[in-house]
Chains A and B, each alone.
Chain A
Amino acid sequence: MLEYGALFLSAVLVNNFVLTRFLGLCIFFGVSKSFDASAGMGVALTAVMTIASFLAWAMYNLVLAPLHLEFFTTICFVLIIASTVQLLDVITRRFLPTLHAMWGIYLMLIATNCIVLSVPLINVENGFALGKSLVHAVGAGVGFALALLLMASIRERLQYAKVPKAFEGLGIAFITAGLLSLAFLGFSGMIPM
């Protein structure tokens, strides 16, 4: 149990996917302009990632590894994620229209996102079993949501700040992310991984 807790905390704080592993930056900088959008994105991404990790685990351990088709891993995982996103889109549209209205625009962004692809790949690389894979996926999602919400809160305030012209928009966003990442550096070494 302790192992799972350590893995979760490590994915959320120590090896935060955005701020220490630099993944999902396109969404991180694109969506973090508003707090509400960030919250929606965080939830949608965690859901997709958990489902995709489960499917990817099954695919790799039941099909690819026994048949020695490891070189197909990347292609298969990308297609799994794309179909998961498509499936979620269809299902939520049919059965949960309110959720679909909330997620709609984010789902398509998630289909080609590096975090969603990297979590299953890292799971495979480390040989995680099913339980660990899922904990890792949820942890990565929570870590991403945390970073996104922190960033969104700061950027909402930044709108009222006087930023030098050359730094407006993306430039200052990167500097802000750098400072956030500096704060997260404080967690490093807390959990050996």
Chain B
Amino acid sequence: MTHTPQPGSLAAQVLEAEREPFRGSKQTTLRGLIADGIFSKNPVFVLALSLCPAVAVTSEVTTALAMGLAVVFVLTFSNLCTSLLRRFIHPKVRLPAYIAIIATLVTMTQLLMSAYFPDLYQALGVYLALVVVFAIILARAEVFASKNSPLPAAVDGFGMGLGFLLALVVTAAVRELFGVGRLAGYPVFGADYPPILMIVLAPGGFITIGLLIALFRVVGQWRERRRAGPTTDVPAPAATGEVSHA
């Protein structure tokens, strides 16, 4: 079948899993794992996974930060739990098992947030519950945590979560700054900044992320070229942002 795998689909995950062993040895260090999550495998800008919240909660920095922190928490612990339980989960029922782990963690997050930060809980609304079906979380459980020991798994989850958080906060900062001239609620351009509603509303979310994806790609290629420059004996690895290449 000449069907290109969808981002987040099992096929895409398998493809990514196959690519994993061929990555350089740098990636195996814990620091490398975190850097991977933030830059070369950034969940939003490079892997293009879990895009819904990236557009939905990024009209303000505060909600984006809250969502990012929730995802860091869930991703770290879902990877940790998956890794700890990896010898007990039968391969045939692994996906339902992962979903149950993730759903439990998300429910914990929901209860904690509604108890201690009711305003944020209201602002995030249905999107917090939707963390359950984030492709990135299931993908990390399937691709990484189920094959690695607990510490690297947790660090990988943390790094990926951090990359997600940064992507959300950067998008939100751009939108809030240019949309209403504020940053996390504090006026930056003065009180008489005329709000540009389009950036805060739905279309602005899509367009901002489109621009940021392009920017991320340019910077990524520049980094790659600079790194490949002095050591010419290593052929430049294929860019990891292949998801949308077809």
Interface string of B194-215 (1 = CB under 8 A from A): 0000100111111101110111
Contacts of A23 in B (CB 8 A): 52, 56, 130
- Within 8 Å by CB of B133, from A19, A30, A113, A166, lies A113
Contacts of B30-52 to chain A: CB distance below 8 A:
48-52
Q: List the 6 shortest-distance A-B pairs measured between CB atoms, nearest first.
A: A174-B210, A169-B244, A178-B206, A30-B6, A178-B207, A170-B244
- Within 8 Å by CB of A31, from B6, B55, B104, lies B6
Is the CB–CB distance between A29 and B130 below 8 Å? no
Is the CB–CB distance between B3 and A117 below 8 Å? no
Is the CB–CB distance between B130 and A21 below 8 Å? no
Closest Cβ of chain A to B139, distance in Å, is 10
**Complex Cα–Cα for A174 and B212 (A):** 10
Q: Is B126 interfacial (CB 8 A cutoff)?
A: yes
Q: Is B143 interfacial (CB 8 A cutoff)?
A: no
Which of B83-91, B95-103, B157-165 contacts the other chain?
B95-103
Interface string of A111-155 (1 = CB under 8 A from B): 011100110011001000000000000000000000000000000
- Within 8 Å by CB of A19, from B52, B202, B217, lies B202
Q: Is B148 interfacial (CB 8 A cutoff)?
A: no
Contacts of A108 in B (CB 8 A): 9-10
Task: Sort chain B's interface into a size bin.
Answer: 35 or more
**Complex Cα–Cα for A174 and B58 (A):** 15
Is the CB–CB distance between B96 and A79 below 8 Å? yes
**Complex Cα–Cα for A23 and B56 (A):** 8
Q: Is A87 interfacial (CB 8 A cutoff)?
A: no
Q: Is A63 interfacial (CB 8 A cutoff)?
A: no
Contacts of A79 in B (CB 8 A): 96, 99-100, 103
- Interfacial residues, chain A to chain B (CB-CB below 8 A): 19-27, 29-31, 33, 71-75, 78-79, 82, 105, 108-109, 112-114, 117-118, 121-122, 125, 164, 166-175, 177-179, 181-182, 184-185
- Sample of 5 A–B contacts (CB below 8 Å): A23-B56, A26-B135, A27-B6, A71-B110, A182-B203
Shortest Cβ distance from B197 into A: residue: A185
Is the CB–CB distance between B132 and A185 below 8 Å? no
Is the CB–CB distance between B51 and A29 below 8 Å? yes
Is the CB–CB distance between A20 and B202 below 8 Å? yes
- Within 8 Å by CB of A112, from B135, B206, B245, lies B135
Q: Is B138 interfacial (CB 8 A cutoff)?
A: yes
Is the CB–CB distance between B132 and A25 below 8 Å? no
Q: Please judge, given known A-B contacts A30-B6, A121-B129, whether A185 and B204 are in contact too, CB under 8 Å.
A: no
Closest Cβ of chain B to A27, distance in Å, is 7
**Complex Cα–Cα for A129 and B92 (A):** 37
Contacts of A112 in B (CB 8 A): 8, 99, 133, 135, 138
- Within 8 Å by CB of B245, from A169, A175, A181, A185, lies A169
**Complex Cα–Cα for A172 and B201 (A):** 19
Contacts of B204 in A (CB 8 A): 178
Q: Is B184 interfacial (CB 8 A cutoff)?
A: no
Closest Cβ of chain A to B128, distance in Å, is 9
Is the CB–CB distance between A166 and B207 below 8 Å? no
Q: Please judge, given known A-B contacts A78-B99, A79-B99, A170-B243, whether A105 and B52 are in contact too, CB under 8 Å.
A: no
Closest Cβ of chain A to B31, distance in Å, is 28
